Amino acid sequence: MTESSPWRERLLALCAPALLLLVAVVHLFLVESRGLSPWKGGGFGMFSTVDSPSARFLRVYLVDGESEVQVRLPDRMKELGYDVRVLPTHDALEGLATRVANGTWVPERLASAVTRYQALLAEGVEPSPGDSDVGRVDFMGVRLLRMLEAGEPPPPLGRAHVFQRVRVELWAFRFESSSSRLVATRMAEASASVPP
């Protein structure tokens, strides 16, 4: 059995605290310079702030001239959206906006529960989007759009929503001590043009 020297034992004893200090310094740097959520990358600020990834949210707009329509981020982009909320770089926001701009957006067609139930009884299958307008839910002029899924057939001519660019905004809740309430503030935004 070999004995270790005293200097080697001291060096090994200092490795763990030095590594912890390095992680803390990198974490603080990323939080301050890159907008990393204090809950991630080491989590050294997780209990000192409300700024967790779940307190950050994205707003996505399809813009056509002066008009814009807010849309929901498609499910297949949720993971990318989460990454943008955790570490919001301009490139990541712009990449998300580009992916949204590359999609084809069509009106969302929602069937009422009665219509869906009647279709299940009659055919044993749910109606597909774009079926009969009978029994459709009326949202009083609010435009609901969805991005076509991969492999879904293109919409008939004139059915796709036309827009020129996409704007993605990252918002976060902050605690306002003067009023003792949470306030949403815009952290960053990026946009991308629709490809020709």
Q: What residues have CB less than 8 Å from 139, skipping those under 6 apart?
A: none
Give pTM, 2 decimals. Answer: 0.68
> For 28-73, how does the pLDDT look when each residue is reduced to its tens digit (9 = 90+)?
777 777 777 776 666 565 666 666 778 889 999 999 999 999 999 9
Beta bridge partners of 10: none
Question: What are the residue boundaries of the structural domains of the chain, listed by start?
Answer: 53-126+137-150+159-193
CB 163, CB 62: distance < 8 Å = yes
Sheet (strand 181-193) strand order: 67-71, 56-64, 165-176, 181-193
d(CA 195, CA 163): 11
Average pLDDT over residues 109-125: 72
pLDDT-derived band of residue 126, with 50, 70 and 90 as boundaries? low
Tokens 């740097």, residue located? 29
CA separation, residue 163 to residues 15, 88, 129, 167, 183 (Å): 56, 25, 22, 11, 31
Q: Is 128 helix (H, G, I), strand (E, B) or coil?
A: coil
Length of the chain: 196
Q: What is the pLDDT of residues 156-173, one digit of tens each?
A: 888 888 999 999 999 998
Q: Are 56 and 82 in contact (CB under 8 A)?
A: no
Write down the pLDDT at residue 175. Answer: 85
How far apart are alpha carbons 40 and 30 in whole angstroms? 10
Cβ-count burial 91-109 (b if 16+ within 10 Å, e if not): ebbbbbbbbbbebebbeeb
Give me the percent of the chain exceeding a pLDDT of 70: 81
Q: Is the pLDDT of residue 7 over 50?
A: yes
pLDDT at residue 134 is higher than 50: no
The tokens describing 109, both together, are 């067609």
Tokens of 128: 């597909």
Mean pLDDT for the stretch of residues 22-29: 77
